[in-house]
Amino acid sequence: MEFDVQAIRRRFPILSRTIGGKPLIYLDNAATSQTPDMVVGEIERFYTRSKANVHRGVHTLSQEATDLQESARRAVRDYINAASEREIIFTRGTTEAINLVASSYGGGFPEGGEIILTVMEHHANIVPWQLLQRHKNLKLKVVDINERGELDLEQYRSLFSDCTVMASFCHVSNVLGTVNPVKEMIAYAHSRGVPVLVDGAQGAPHLPVDVRDLDCDFYVFSSHKMYGPTGVGVLYGRENLLELMPPYQGGGEMIGKVTFEHTTFADLPFKFEAGTPDFVGIAAFAKAIEFIREVGIGNIEAQEHRLLRLATEEMERMPGMRIFGTAPGKSAVISFLVGDIHPYDLGMLLDKMGVAVRTGHHCAEPLMDRLGIPGTVRASFAVYNTEEEVGAFIEALKKAVKIFGY
Ligand code: PLP
């Protein structure tokens, strides 16, 4: 498809909104991306034409709903090139997917096991492992970064020991934008017999993902960051591992046969999908994947990089500007501070000019501590952002910092 950003923008009704009389410039895409008409349309169509619970009925609507959910599972399998849809578990999001693995797979860790994380992790990839620490005497080991925000790979390798039971790290940092060399890191972990979870919340929306090429054991991501609806996420897990893992939650859908004496569990993937799933959201997520395929992940990457380059060049020229994360090939996220201006103050002023950015610790407090800052302002781009918007953002930023004397 020929890349036409204006045609893409027309598919996102929210982008024609104004904020305080100014056109909305939405640069908070790393938190959640906006949703195209075909996804919203699918939600409406489902509720008005096909709603019935999945996997429970013989009637037409129930079968339609089930077919839609299962074809979404195939769409996800294809998107990440998993070997089988048995390896695709629908969750509420990245956070639930990591909790599932920590609780179910982690439940089998031996006392004294060591888990390798990195200092750039989102809280979603820290706290579930800490919860597991409560029950077991586990140790977390943390890989540091260099001044560009890249992982220290030598240190990463040195942290492995005979006690290492898991390595879990992000594909792309939600603060620094660093794209980690996950394939190389997975290969090393495997050479030490250690399984790997990749937090793909910021990977799957922006980069081609091939779980078989990466050879990861688990890969997790969220629909709402990929132009899809909220409340849906994915756990990809290697089938032989998922087979061995106990269920995470109990209830309907996940059982084989229930008696008061003994219960057997359903096959994959249903063993991990207790209760009624967000089947409307799941079907709409399939439309989001269709949208990404139509636009082309290569076009998405290219557009986002164009905007990143343009914004970075302009920002680097601004007095007092500090950008956190300057790794080559980074993803389209710019975290920054200007002089001693508090990030909230900048964020508020930008909002008054129609520019939506995120401020704060971005759910990465250990990283903020490592950088010695309380938080940053973060601008993050998606495929529908334009060069004109970057220009307007820079103008707004210049005006805002001038108020503080920069
Ligand atoms: N991991 C990373 C790297 C993220 O950026 C996020 C969300 O910002 C998450 C995990 C958590 O995702 P969710 O809130 O969709 O579960």
Residue ranges per structural domain of the chain = 5-30+297-403, 40-293
The reply to whether 40-293 shares the fold of 5-30+297-403 is no
DSSP per residue, 375-403:
-EEEEE--TT--HHHHHHHHHHHHHHHHH
The pLDDT tens digits of the residues spanning 92-120 come to: 999 999 999 999 999 999 999 999 999 99
The domain 5-30+297-403 having CATH identifier 3.90.1150.10: the answer here is yes
The CA distance from 219 to 343, in Å, is 32
> 310 CA distance to ligand 1 centroid (A)?
26
135: pLDDT confidence band, cut at 50, 70 and 90?
A: confident
- Strand segments, DSSP code E, in 76-163 are 88-91, 114-118, 139-143
CA of 123 to the centre of ligand 1 (A): 8
Residue tagged active-site, from 163, 170, 216, 363: 363
Pocket test for ligand 1, best of 118, 122, 224, 362 (most atoms within 8 A of CB): 122
What band does 1 get if pLDDT is binned at 50, 70 and 90?
Answer: low
363 a catalytic residue: yes
For 222, list phi and psi in degrees, rounded to 5. -120, 140
List, for residues 374-383, the tens digit of each pLDDT value: 999 999 999 9
Q: Quick one: pLDDT band at residue 269, thresholds 50, 70, 90?
A: very high
- Give the pTM: 0.98
Q: In 76-180, which ranges are E strands?
A: 88-91, 114-118, 139-143, 164-170
Measured distance CA(129)–CA(139) in Å, rounded:
9
CATH class (in words) of the domain with range 40-293: alpha beta
